[in-house]
Amino acid sequence: MTVTTRFAPSPTGQLHVGNIRAALHNWMFARGRGGRFVLRIDDTDAERSEERFVDGILADLAWLGLTHDAMVRQSERFALYQARFDALVAAGRIYPAYESAQELDLKRKILLGRGLPPVYDRGALALTDADKARLEADGVRPHWRFRLDHDAPIAWDDLIRGPQAFDARTMSDPVVRRADGSWLYMLPSAIDDADLGITHVVRGEDHVSNTALQLQMFDAMQVAPPCFAHEALLTGAEGKLSKRLGSLGVEHFRESGIEPQAVIALLARIGTSDPVEPIADPAPLIAAFDFARFGRAPARFDEAELAQVNARIVHQLPHDAVADRLPAGMGAAEWDAVRPNLSSVAEAADWWRVIEGPVDAPAPDDETRAYLAQAATLAASIDWAGDPWHALTAALKDVTGRKGKALFLPLRQALTGLDHGPDMAALLPLIGRERTMARLSG
């Protein structure tokens, strides 16, 4: 059996961090087992689906490096759905229902008022052919429900949640097709999983009841269901479900200077017993991916933690991985010098300006001005082919007797305009002899 997973976004908006996490885990599970990862575009909702969102989904997955082995669109598979639908109607597992939305709402309110669960009463099954003909003659078009088997137990061993069991009697027969002929999510998704050979489905725990219903659909179609793993939902840093998580996506991460490796490193591990680590290569993350490590508690997504992971990822990136995002002329030596001080690649431009100049140094007092003049004189005489920073500071220490902050800080301020930054031993050779002397001389 070839492990086959899928990610099935609807092109009605941009991917958010919760979608990305589901895509990542399906991709990781497939890649770790030499399997296939299928991208299924759930575009049955013609009114809300837009091609620009399809393009956005593809671009976001590409940026993250989540390559797919096959891509299908539900809008191109209606003939398959119709064939399965017709077979299930003939088998008595799908039936027409004629209640209006208002009638169904009234039924629910009556049941709730009696303290009963709002389960559909299957009133449509009591209609005779004559009743149906009369309703349709009056212009009432039916929607369609999947008839659950109340005598069949619904149970599965969830890869994260463990043994799960539902009683079909406590559940409403789900609507699978609207009166206008359009499809709802449940049946086409099950048909696709069967047709595409999906062996494992990783999704949020908010789909657990959907899985219970779909297991009966698989059984009605006489196909083996996939294995299911329902993971805890993401929460915000405050520990609650957050609407903000629905707005955080690839565009936001890119604008914030977040690297795709940081997103993957964080989302691969939050909600598991493994520590979040700044791992730039997904291979070890994939190798360690195991549903047994997932917990049942909500997974806490913290942008501050993502920023910390990102900075540590940036510190690992080689020059050739970022060269196309650096200022013109900034080479490997400059990148290696400033990289340990960066939170994002974009910040390298700030340090390039420090190297190239001019810098806006604080105005020195008379004593500091004299000290910097001595430094400029010594800078002209030291060996710049070796380690000019330590040569300069050693000479200054001998001449002036200064040490510590009094020795180093005025030099850093004059040379960079800042009180802190990259190691001056790495930075000074990049600033160079002529610019160093000019900045020290004021």
Query: What local confidence, expressed as pLDDT, does residue 241 receive?
Result: 64
> Is 243 annotated for ligand binding?
yes
Query: What local confidence, expressed as pLDDT, does residue 23 receive?
Result: 98
- Of the candidate CATH numbers 3.30.70.1400, 2.40.50.140, 3.90.800.10, 3.40.50.2300, the domain formed by 80-177 belongs to 3.90.800.10
Please determine, for residue 11, whether its predicted confidence score (pLDDT) is greater than 70: yes
User: 247 pLDDT band (50/70/90 cuts)?
Assistant: confident
Query: What local confidence, expressed as pLDDT, does residue 438 receive?
Result: 96
Radius of gyration in angstroms for the set of CA atoms belonging to the chain, rounded to a whole number: 32
Distance CA 307, CA 315 (A): 13
Taking all residues of the chain, what is their mean pLDDT, rounded to a whole number? 96
Query: What local confidence, expressed as pLDDT, does residue 1 receive?
Result: 84
Please determine, for residue 261, whether its predicted confidence score (pLDDT) is greater than 80: yes
Q: What is the mean pLDDT of residues 416-421?
A: 94
User: 246 pLDDT band (50/70/90 cuts)?
Assistant: confident
Q: What is the mean pLDDT of residues 372-379?
A: 96
Distance CA 90, CA 428 (A): 81
Length of the chain: 442
Please determine, for residue 240, whether its predicted confidence score (pLDDT) is greater than 80: no
Query: What local confidence, expressed as pLDDT, does residue 244 receive?
Result: 78
* DSSP letter (8 states) at residue 343: S
* DSSP letter (8 states) at residue 294: B
pLDDT over 90, % of the chain: 95
pLDDT digits (tens, 9 = 90+) for 307-356: 999 999 999 999 999 999 999 999 999 999 999 999 999 999 999 999 99
Please determine, for residue 298, whether its predicted confidence score (pLDDT) is greater than 70: yes
User: 92 pLDDT band (50/70/90 cuts)?
Assistant: very high
Domains of the chain, residue spans: 80-177, 319-356, 366-441
Tokens of 374: 């001595």
Q: What is the mean pLDDT of residues 287-298?
A: 94
Backbone angles phi, psi at 25, to 5 degrees: -70, -35
Sign of CA dihedral 51, 55, 56, 57: positive
Single-letter residue type at 289 = F
Q: What is the mean pLDDT of residues 143-170?
A: 97
Query: What local confidence, expressed as pLDDT, does residue 192 receive?
Result: 98
Burial of 408 (0-12, 13-18, 19+ CB in 10 A): middle
